[in-house]
Amino acid sequence: MAARWLIKNATVVSMDPEIGILERGDLLIEDGRIARLGFDLSCEDASRIDADRMIAAPGFVDTHRHVWQTQLRGVAADWSLFDYSVTMRNAFPACYEAEDAFLGNYVGALEALDAGVTTVVDHSHLQVSEEHTRALADGLRRAGIRGVYCVGLYANPRLQPGGALDQGQLFATPEQAAAQRDLVERFREHHFADDGGLLRFGIATTEWVATTPDAVADEVAWCRRLAPATISTHVGMGLGEDLRVVPALAERGLLGDDLLFVHGAHLSDADLDALARQGGFVSSTPETELQMGMGFPVVDRVAASGKEPSLGIDIVSNFAGDMFSQMRLMLQAQRFQDYEREGRLPLNSRRPAAEILHTATQGGATAIGLGDLVGSLRPGKQADLLLVRTDGIHMAPVNDPVAALVFYANAADVDTVMVAGQLRKQNGRLVEVEWPKLRCDLEDSRDRILRRFAAMPLTQLRELWAPIWEGLTEPPA
Ligand SMILES: [Zn+2]
């Protein structure tokens, strides 16, 4: 693989305020980084990529995805949050062998790359064994994506296909919780001692909807002993006790920018202020939040607090894994809310498309501590970028390249993807991926998972969870 690339004649949407947009601009990539960005660049020993009629943009940064669910496309299409919590979190994990976990994460990361997502936070709650935990990491590494692998502290219910079920099996015992901590600690020590590569170590917390402030504080302090890049947690979905989490951490001086609060639509402005002052980022996942009633996406309120918001895709078990659709949905939903707030139709729209593109790139990078490394195209930064074709019937002519990316493009328009200067997609195809064979492997894995799933005691599981859920979703007195 060439160490030097010269990308010629692209419309460069840099997302760097000092550089802006370059028409017919060039990028010189050397040793994985952007060495130069400008006009009429030349370099004799660089491999040349002709980017005429293409937009060059920074790779997207997805700050929340459960990558393992690749085999389950469409199963969650009409689900509520209750359906998801019961079925996906309780039943499906027991249907994955380690080999399925590898394939889910490998193909899921390839799907992300194919759509120009070059960095992902994998909030991984499929840690049913050490073997699974290693296989999931292997999948991400094999795909060559940048990101944070947040290993789950959540002890999945040990239900087995065809097995009997009682209420006692729904929650982790103290022994199971301790064993899960041991698993994460051993994995960090033996399989993830080095944070120098593309993939960094992170932790996905237990679910904090039914816990005490002291337990939350204890868990955060425990996580920090392992020096994770990111501690990812679901919060502020309108469930149970999760609104006490931010005040509890703030009071104890435990907030910090290693914390990534996911969803957070129900967080108060005071909570968001606390994150802006004391530390803590937010990832909003518009499509699942709107589908499952988790509240109106919090992106705009986070920005108002002075903190960079970020976007996540969450799950491909109910929709596509590209950032184009999330940007579009978020921006238009936000514009709708702006009009509602104003109470009358203003003369001009207030919200530019460039804002959401910033959130999907630099915003995400900043939220996981990589803001100086990726998120925009600027000399010195890592060469994580995509080239988007604009010659298709749904794209041409381009009058505004930002609008082309936010409102018209889809994953199939992504011609080229680089991570740290390494080609992951070229001429519209993933590099070094034999897709027909891989697709067969994925379909075989899907068949095995669904066969096991058919034997899960789903009706009983829903009956056991329904009263617990009622308690979690009761409006506050
Ligand atoms: Zn999630």
Per residue in 359-397, pLDDT tens?
Answer: 999 999 999 999 999 999 999 999 999 999 999 999 999
Mean pLDDT of 247-267: 96
Mean pLDDT of 52-78: 97
Whole-number pLDDT of residue 476: 60
Q: Three-state SS for 119?
A: strand
Cα 262 to middle of ligand 1, angstroms: 7
Identify whether the C-beta of residue 310 lies closer than 8 Å to the C-beta of residue 362: no
Distance between CA 153 and CA 175 in Å, rounded?
13
Beta-bridged to residue 30, according to DSSP, are: 4, 33
Cα 125 to middle of ligand 1, angstroms: 9
Q: Which residues contact 4 (CB under 8 A, 6 or more apart)?
A: 28, 29, 30, 43, 45, 46, 47
- Residue ranges of the chain assigned to CATH 2.30.40.10: 4-58+375-429
Whole-number pLDDT of residue 246: 95
Measured over the CA atoms of residue 276, residue 279, residue 285 and residue 291, the dihedral's sign is negative
Q: What is the pLDDT of residues 119-147, one digit of tens each?
A: 999 999 999 999 999 999 999 999 999 99
Mean pLDDT of 323-343: 94
Mean pLDDT of 458-472: 90
346 versus 213: which is more confidently predicted? Answer: 213
Distance between CA 130 and CA 171 in Å, rounded?
20
Identify whether the C-beta of residue 65 lies closer than 8 Å to the C-beta of residue 112: yes
Place of tokens 């298709």: 392
Element (H, E) at 428: none
- Give the predicted TM-score (pTM) of the model: 0.97
Cα 465 to middle of ligand 1, angstroms: 19
Element (H, E) at 282: strand 281-284
Distance between CA 317 and CA 71 in Å, rounded?
8
Distance between CA 87 and CA 424 in Å, rounded?
34
pLDDT band at 87 (very low <50, low <70, confident <90, very high): very high
Residue percentage of the chain with pLDDT more than 90: 84
319 versus 475: which is more confidently predicted? Answer: 319
Say how many CA atoms lie within 13 Å of 337 toward its Cβ. 14
Cα 440 to middle of ligand 1, angstroms: 28
Cα 289 to middle of ligand 1, angstroms: 10
Q: Where are the beta strands (DSSP E) in 391-458?
A: 414-419, 422-426, 429-430
CATH architecture of the domain with residue range 4-58+375-429: Roll (2.30)
Cα 374 to middle of ligand 1, angstroms: 23
Cα 319 to middle of ligand 1, angstroms: 14
Distance between CA 120 and CA 104 in Å, rounded?
14
DSSP state of 54: E
Cα 24 to middle of ligand 1, angstroms: 40
Cα 233 to middle of ligand 1, angstroms: 8
Q: What is the pLDDT of residues 445-457, one digit of tens each?
A: 999 999 999 999 8
Average pLDDT along the chain: 94
Tell how many helices (H) and how many strands (E) occur in the chain. 15, 17
pLDDT band at 2 (very low <50, low <70, confident <90, very high): low
Does domain 60-367 bear CATH number 3.20.20.140?
A: yes
Q: Say if residue 1's pLDDT is above 70.
A: no
Cα 303 to middle of ligand 1, angstroms: 21
Pairing of strands 231-235, 199-204: parallel
Whole-number pLDDT of residue 17: 97
Element (H, E) at 12: strand 4-13
Which one, of 154, 158, 162, lies nearest residue 170 by Cα?
A: 158
Q: What is the pLDDT of residues 282-313, one digit of tens each?
A: 999 999 999 999 999 999 999 999 999 999 99
Cα 315 to middle of ligand 1, angstroms: 7
Whole-number pLDDT of residue 155: 86
Q: Three-state SS for 218?
A: helix
Cα 62 to middle of ligand 1, angstroms: 12
Q: What is the pLDDT of residues 22-64, one digit of tens each?
A: 999 999 999 999 999 999 999 999 999 999 999 999 999 999 9
Residue percentage of the chain with pLDDT more than 70: 99
- Residue ranges of the chain assigned to CATH 3.20.20.140: 60-367
Instruction: Count Cβ atoms below 10 Å from residue 247 Cβ, excluding itself.
Output: 14
Cα 386 to middle of ligand 1, angstroms: 26
Distance between CA 386 and CA 369 in Å, rounded?
21
Say how many CA atoms lie within 13 Å of 302 toward its Cβ. 30
Cα 263 to middle of ligand 1, angstroms: 8
